[in-house]
Amino acid sequence: MNFFDINYILFQLPGYSVSVVEFVGTATGLICVIFAAKERVISWPFGIINAVFFFILFYQARLYPDMLLQIYYLGTSFYGWWRWTHPRGEFETDYKDELKVASIGSSGIIMIVTAVIAVASLAGAGVERVHLWLPVIFPEPAAFPYADSFVAILSIVAQVLLSLKKREAWMLWIIVDVVAAVIYMMKGIYLVSGEYVIFGLIASAGLWNWNKIFSGYSGEAAE
């Protein structure tokens, strides 16, 4: 059996079989988020590995928007890696000579969430019919087209903000993690679902940590 097949089982949990693809994708994703919450550049290489393995997993699970999203994650992981290590001038540079944590403000978050809901509604309508348009590539109907599209679109925006080191990225990731955990649980991908619950907790810690770092810049300026 193919190593990358979702049925290539690495180990068994009570009532659930864990494939190699799901395990590697889950493990590298968890490591990536932990390091990102700690504001560590090493998070990006793990994000690259995570994107490759989750692309394979989601294709086989028929979660097409999530599958295509991994291509985007792959590109933004390379960009985020470069951007965090190449701040533009002293005003963007922290004590590690890396990009500073910044903010888009509450009005920016409201605008983003409103736009995401509108775009996800349109995208969901298309995803719902994609198996009719491209039956060779997508032989079966997509699972949860609207909810999955919402997760995909919001993740795209959150990843951009994370690449730019905006603290509000973690607010969006918390929403993504809650919705995604429910979707994967309903699809029977239990390990990934459990991971997204953990992601939500890490995202909450990341928001707290980045807010603390951002507030510290004000203290430095006052001094």
pLDDT digits (tens, 9 = 90+) for 60-111: 887 776 788 799 999 999 999 999 999 988 888 988 899 999 999 889 999 9
Mean pLDDT of 160-179: 95
Q: Which of 160, 196, 166 is nearest to 181 (CA)?
A: 196
Percent of the chain topping pLDDT 70: 94
Residue 136: its pLDDT value, please?
A: 82
State yes or no: pLDDT of 170 exceeds 90: yes
Q: How far apart are CA 119 and CA 146, in angstroms?
A: 10
Both structure tokens of 194 = 């459990």
121: left (phi over 0), alpha (psi -120 to 50) or beta: alpha
Binning pLDDT at 50, 70 and 90, where does residue 218 land? low
Q: How far apart are CA 168 and CA 171, in angstroms?
A: 5
79 within 8 A of 165, measured Cβ to Cβ: no
Mean pLDDT of 157-175: 96
Q: Where are the domains of the chain?
A: 9-87+105-222
120 within 8 A of 153, measured Cβ to Cβ: yes
Q: How far apart are CA 109 and CA 89, in angstroms?
A: 26
State yes or no: pLDDT of 222 exceeds 80: no
Mean pLDDT of 151-179: 94
State yes or no: pLDDT of 221 exceeds 50: no
Residue 169: its pLDDT value, please?
A: 96
Q: How far apart are CA 47 and CA 75, in angstroms?
A: 10
More confident residue, 181 or 65: 181
Residue 220: its pLDDT value, please?
A: 52
- Give the predicted TM-score (pTM) of the model: 0.81
53 within 8 A of 21, measured Cβ to Cβ: yes
Lowest pLDDT segment from 3-17, 22-36, 76-90, 122-136: 3-17
Mean pLDDT of 170-183: 94
pLDDT in tens, 198-207: 999 999 999 9
State yes or no: pLDDT of 57 exceeds 80: yes
* Tokens 């810049």 found at: 217
Q: How is residue 93 annotated by DSSP?
A: B
Exposed/middle/buried for 222, CB within 10 Å: 0-12, 13-18, 19+?
exposed
Residue 111: its pLDDT value, please?
A: 93
All residues at 6 or more sequence positions from 107 whose CB lies less than 8 Å from its CB, including other chains:
none
